[in-house]
Amino acid sequence: MRSMLLYPAIDVAGGQAVRLRQGRAAQMRVVHPDPVELAEHFAAAGAPWLHVVDIDAALGTGSNRAVLARLVGRVACPVEVGGGVRSWEDIQALKGVGVARVVLGTAAQRDGALLARALAHDAEAVAVAADTRSGTVVVSGWTADSGEPLAGFAARMRGEGVRHLIVTAVERDGTGTGPDLEVLRAALAAFGPGVIASGGVGRVEDVERLGTLAAAGLAGVIVGTLLVEGRATVGELLARLGGG
């Protein structure tokens, strides 16, 4: 199996590590009281990256910027951060505390000038979130339908110079029912290499299924619930991914 990167996921709300089901805030549950401690645990276990989302910022209900700064400062591995990143000032603030890659979601869909500026400044330090429900990209913390099909959005992002596209099947997120390979194939066909899978990984075996898409350019997988519930370890997943 071609090696893919593992991204343990930490969602932060109210200063705590949480998990949502299908992106619904009403189904939020606390999985660890201290996101920084959880990040240190994943990093110490060998995680090559961490994927962190500020849920409050994504929903427009607050910010966990201070927690994120502390988290980034306590781990040796690179951290990518998303959630409510909608201005150049947001990007600069996150980069200023050591965030290695900033994830643009709503801004990539609605603010072409900001995306272009971020890519021109450092394309490798930018990822775009293609959060999809029923084949269409959703924005504003997964609460609004953009009306743009995934394939069209993915192709447009590649044309803009995006190198990393995080594809989440919202219906699968937090469910553990398995990744949506059809959605990922559509994204890969439109975008090419650099797609990162997110949503639905519920068993160690699911990462092997994702491995079948590595040759098509699947670059990594974001895993949240499986790890925070202790049903798999970072080491186990790295082994299945060819070493991470």
- What is the value of pTM for the model shown? 0.93
Question: Quick check: is 244 in a domain?
Answer: no
CATH of the domain at 41: 3.20.20.70
Question: Quick check: is 243 in a domain?
Answer: no
Q: What's residue 121's pLDDT?
A: 97
Asked whether the beta carbons of 50 and 76 are under 8 A apart, the reply is: no
Asked whether the beta carbons of 84 and 129 are under 8 A apart, the reply is: no
Q: What's residue 28's pLDDT?
A: 83
Q: In the structure, what pLDDT confidence band is assigned to residue 143 with cuts at 50, 70 and 90?
A: low
Residue with tokens 């596209």: 165
Q: What's residue 1's pLDDT?
A: 43
Q: In the structure, what pLDDT confidence band is assigned to residue 3 with cuts at 50, 70 and 90?
A: confident
Question: Quick check: is 16 in a domain?
Answer: yes
Question: Hey, which residues are catalytic here?
Answer: 11, 131
pLDDT tens digit sequence for 41-69: 999 999 999 999 999 998 889 999 999 99
Question: Quick check: is 146 in a domain?
Answer: yes
Q: Which amino acid is at 112?
A: G
Q: What's residue 170's pLDDT?
A: 82
pLDDT tens digit sequence for 226-244: 999 899 999 999 998 875 4
Question: Quick check: is 10 in a domain?
Answer: yes
pLDDT tens digit sequence for 204-224: 999 888 988 998 999 999 999
Contacts of 202 (CB under 8 A, 6+ apart): 175, 176, 177, 178, 225, 226, 231
Residue 162 has pLDDT above 90, yes or no: yes
Residue 175 has pLDDT above 70, yes or no: no
Domain that includes residue 131, residue range: 5-236
Label residue 13 exposed, middle or buried (CB < 10 Å: 0-12, 13-18, 19+).
Answer: buried
Position with higher pLDDT, 16 vs 31: 16
Average pLDDT over residues 167-185: 84
Residue 188 has pLDDT above 90, yes or no: yes
Spell out where the chain has E strands.
Answer: 5-13, 16-21, 24-32, 50-54, 79-82, 101-104, 126-133, 136-139, 144-149, 164-169, 195-198, 218-223
Mean pLDDT (the chain) is 91
Inter-helix orientation angle 181-191/150-160, to 10°? 40
Q: Could you tell me what percent of the chain has a pLDDT over 90?
A: 70
Question: Quick check: is 94 in a domain?
Answer: yes
pLDDT tens digit sequence for 104-139: 998 998 899 999 999 999 999 999 999 888 888 987
Question: Quick check: is 241 in a domain?
Answer: no
Structurally, the chain folds into a number of domains equal to: 1
Question: Quick check: is 31 in a domain?
Answer: yes
